[in-house]
Amino acid sequence: MNRPFVIVVASEKGGVGKTTIATNLAVYLKALREDLPVTIASFDNHFSVDQMFALGSPPAGTIAGLLEQDPPSKLIALGQYGVQYMASSRRLLSPSHAPGWLRQRLRSATLPGILILDTRPILDWFTEAALLAADLVLVPIKDRAALVNAAALRQVLTRVERADQLWLLPSLVDTRARLNAEVRVHEFLTYAARERDYQVLDFCISKSPKVESLASGFSSCIRPVLTHARNTAVHGQLKQLAEFTLSSFDAESKPGSGRQAELVPEVLTDVPAVHRRRLVLECPRCCCQSLPDGGHFYFDLRSRRRGFIHPDCLEGLFEDLNLSDADDLDDLIALTIDGPGLVGPECKLTVHLFDATGDLADSEEVELKNRKSLVDQLSMMTGQSLDVAYREFILVNRVAKRADDQLADDAYRRFALRRRQIARELRQAGIF
């Protein structure tokens, strides 16, 4: 892939660690994969990029040239830590082009590897253009205000059916801070975000005086966490972020797996692209093709994986779960998994049934020990081993539908609404 894989770090709220995350992510990406070209540029005018990466002769141009006709490859220079950078510009003027122009510009550019764009803490032309050009959007949140402000960023991506590219990252989190005796700030941010249907990374970037000191003081240089704060928790967290980013890059780079090259089954050609995101084509029980006939729709909240279970396979799954069909129950069944990261060495699976009015009717714990077949099915539905699960929330529809019917606009909106209602019901009951 000669065009850059574009990562945008954005927030409408300042003071959330946005630039620190962007600059350090570039360093960690390069450290983890030395042969991968990594370039960083900023639309903000605080010159943090230059202060961390400037080395020797400056680039021939600045990021302002990116908004003109200058080839991006001519605007970059090799900087510290092996990271390429574009020099910042004190005054950037909004071009007359529509913001979507930048995406086309970068997609036709010869700039291999990863390009990280740091944005301004406002939703202006530059931030919107960066969002529309992005393959991955990271939005740091440290409080409710930052979470609320993320809605405007998501709306930009929703208009072009690419909202699934946005991931929230809890940032500057004091891991010791609690809202009350039971709820940590990190947990509140995570679940409040998921209640609003956001994708949230499973880790946070902790608040660290040591890390903050690297970008403050009177020095003209900014030092990365990798070289000057390896003894902090932030070091491991940034490594996790880089690994997540590389997995997204690798998935996009595989032949035939990019969004533009996505092979859409004929039965789904009329289905909105956003509803096909992370659609698994195989039944999680038999691992055979579940399209075009469809079946029983399932959805995992954390990973956003979705797919269909064959009717016969659903009967087998219900037998494993010790469930019998009941006409007086709601069509949706919820499965929650408390993983080892939350409750200790053993996973806990609970099945939740709802009555016809939508109220919680019953919750039953299901034994997972020595239940390899059931564990394998759940792992297929979540997309990860339950050994590393934290909290999972899976919905399964007892009513079989064709894939194109289930994923059509009206049906999918009804499902999404009911999903949020069930999640809220479980949280109010203190279960999830």
pLDDT value for 155: 94
Tens digits of residue pLDDT in 131-165: 999 999 999 999 889 999 999 999 999 988 889 99
Question: Which pLDDT score, from 0 to 100, does residue 262 have?
Answer: 41
Q: Given this model, what pLDDT does residue 25 score?
A: 98
| In a shared domain, residues 73 and 186 | yes
pLDDT given at position 218: 59
Domain boundary among 213, 229, 253: 253
Find the mean pLDDT for residues 238-245. 96
Do 237 and 305 lie in one domain? The reply is: no
**Statement to judge: residues 219 and 274 lie in one domain:** no
- Total domains in the chain come to 2
User: For position 177, what pLDDT does the model report?
Assistant: 67
Q: Is residue 258 part of a domain?
A: no
pLDDT of residue 181: 59
pLDDT tens-place string over residues 104-119: 788 877 888 999 999 9
* Residues 313 and 193 placed together within one structural domain of the fold: no
**Greatest mean pLDDT range, 179-188, 247-256, 257-266, 309-318:** 309-318
- Is residue 189, in this structure, part of any structural domain at all? yes
Pair 41, 140 in one domain = yes
Domain co-membership, 111 together with 26: yes
Among 204, 226, 253, the domain boundary falls at 253
Question: Residue 199's pLDDT is what?
Answer: 94
85 and 170 share one domain: yes
Asked, for residue 348, whether it belongs to a domain, the answer is: yes
Does 232 reside within a domain? yes
pLDDT at 259 over 50: no
Q: Residue 344 belongs to what domain range? A: 266-428
- Give tens-digit pLDDT for 315-356: 999 988 888 766 678 889 999 988 765 445 577 889 999 988
Any idea what the CATH number is for the domain that residue 186 is in? 3.40.50.300
**What is the per-residue pLDDT for 325?**
62
Question: Does residue 260 fall inside a structural domain?
Answer: no
Do 184 and 149 fall into the same domain? yes
Same domain, 231 and 365: no
Asked which of 4-8, 367-371, 399-403 is least confident by mean pLDDT, the reply is: 367-371
Q: Which residue has the higher pLDDT, 367 or 30?
A: 30
Q: Say if residue 261's pLDDT is above 60.
A: no
The Cα-based distances of 122 to 135, 150, 152, 309 in angstroms read: 20, 11, 10, 44
Residues 21 and 165 in one domain: yes
Give the pLDDT band (50/70/90) at residue 103. confident
Q: What is the pLDDT of residue 182?
A: 61
pLDDT digits (tens, 9 = 90+) for 270-298: 888 778 877 887 788 876 778 777 899 99
Whether 259 is in a domain gets the answer no
Instruction: Give the residue from 194, 222, 253 where a domain finishes.
Output: 253
Q: Are 294 and 338 within one domain?
A: yes
Rounded to two decimals, the pTM is 0.64
Kindly state whether residues 247 and 277 are assigned to the same domain.
Answer: no
Tell me which of 416 and 263 has the higher pLDDT: 416
Q: What is the mean pLDDT of the chain?
A: 85
